[in-house]
Structure 1
C-alpha cells in the first residue's frame, strides 16, 4: 500500500514537470485541441486565426518564464507549438507593432507601467536569463499605441526576503 502511494506521488510530481514543448503525447497532425486542454487545462486566451484555426495561449506569467502558443488548424489538429518567450520569438518584436500583435506573439504580460515623463507604456515579461544569479525581464516600450523599442532588465535576488525578487 505504502509503495503504491509513493509511486502515485512520484508520478504526480513528474507529470507536473511536463510542458507542452516536451510532451511526447502531443503530435503535430494527430493531436487535437481537446487533447491539449485535457492535458494542460483551459488556456489563458484563445486567439482566432485567419485560416479558421486558433492559437491556445498557455502563459506562466508573472512568475514563470514561458508562454506556450499551441497552434491548431481549422480542423482542430495540432499544427505547431512555440514558446512565445524564447529568444527567437522576442527578436520578432519590432518598432511599429501594436499591443495586440505583441500579445499574440509573447502572451500575457507580467505587468504594465506608464512613465509620464517619457510618455511610454512599458509592458514586461519574466524570461529565462542568459546565466544564473539573477532574474531577467523583457520589456516592450509603447508610445502612442505602437512599439518604439525593447529592452531587458536584470532582477537581482532580494536578500531580505528570498524568493521575492521584485
Structure 2
C-alpha cells in the first residue's frame, strides 16, 4: 500500500469513528427528556442492550475493535435518558477488580476488542483499545481471567509497524 492510500484510509477511519465519538457530548440528547428512540435515531442500533435493576436498561455503543470508547446510555424505567458514560475512560476501567466474572466485566466495559487464551498460564485475556497515554502510542487495557474470574489487569503499548508507511 502506498503512502497516499494509507493516509486516505486513516482519514476515512478517523472520520467514521468521529460520528460515534461525540455521543457522550451530544447537545441534542437531554437527560430527562430524550428517549431510546431519540438515541437510536441519531446513532443507530446499540451493540447490546443490558437490563437494569430499576426496570430501565442500558444501551451499549462500543467502538471496538477499532475505536477507543464505549458509550453506555442509561435509560430509566420510563425510557428517558438518565446518563451517558464512556466506560473505557481511566476511572471506569480501573473499577474492574479481581474476582469479577466475564459478564460483570462486559457489563462495565462493553464489547472487548479481542480474546486470547494462553494455554501455559491458563489465562484468558480480553483487551480493549483505550485512549493513548502521553507517548502517543496506541494503548490496550487487558483483563486476565483465570478459572472464570478476573485474576489481574495490565496495559500494553502498541508500537507502530515499521512497514505500515513504507514506500514500495
Alignment TM class, shorter chain as reference = 0.7 to 0.9
**Structure 2 unaligned blocks of 5 or more:** 1-14
Quote the RMSD (CA, aligned, Å): 1.7
5 Å-filtered alignment, 1:1-166, equals 16=19, 19-162=22-165
Once the 2 structures are TM-superposed, how far is the Cα of residue 50 of structure 1 from its aligned partner? 1.2
Query: Conserved in 1, the CA contact under 8 Å of 2:20 and 2:63?
Result: no
SS for the counterpart of 1:16 is helix
Query: Conserved in 2, the CA contact under 8 Å of 1:70 and 1:78?
Result: yes
Larger RCO (CA within 8 A; separation ≥ 6): 2
SS for the counterpart of 1:30 is coil
Once the 2 structures are TM-superposed, how far is the Cα of residue 161 of structure 1 from its aligned partner? 1.7
Deviation track 1:112-142 (CA, whole Å, cap 9, x = no partner) reads: 0000111000000000011243100000000
Query: Conserved in 1, the CA contact under 8 Å of 2:20 and 2:43?
Result: no
Deviation track 1:74-123 (CA, whole Å, cap 9, x = no partner) reads: 00000111001010101100000000000001000000000011100000
**Structure 1 unaligned blocks of 5 or more:** 1-11
- Counting matched residue pairs gives 150
User: Which stretches of structure 1, 4 residues or longer, exceed 2 Å deviation after superposition?
Assistant: 15-18
Give the TM-score normalised by structure 1.
0.86
Give the TM-score normalised by structure 2.
0.85
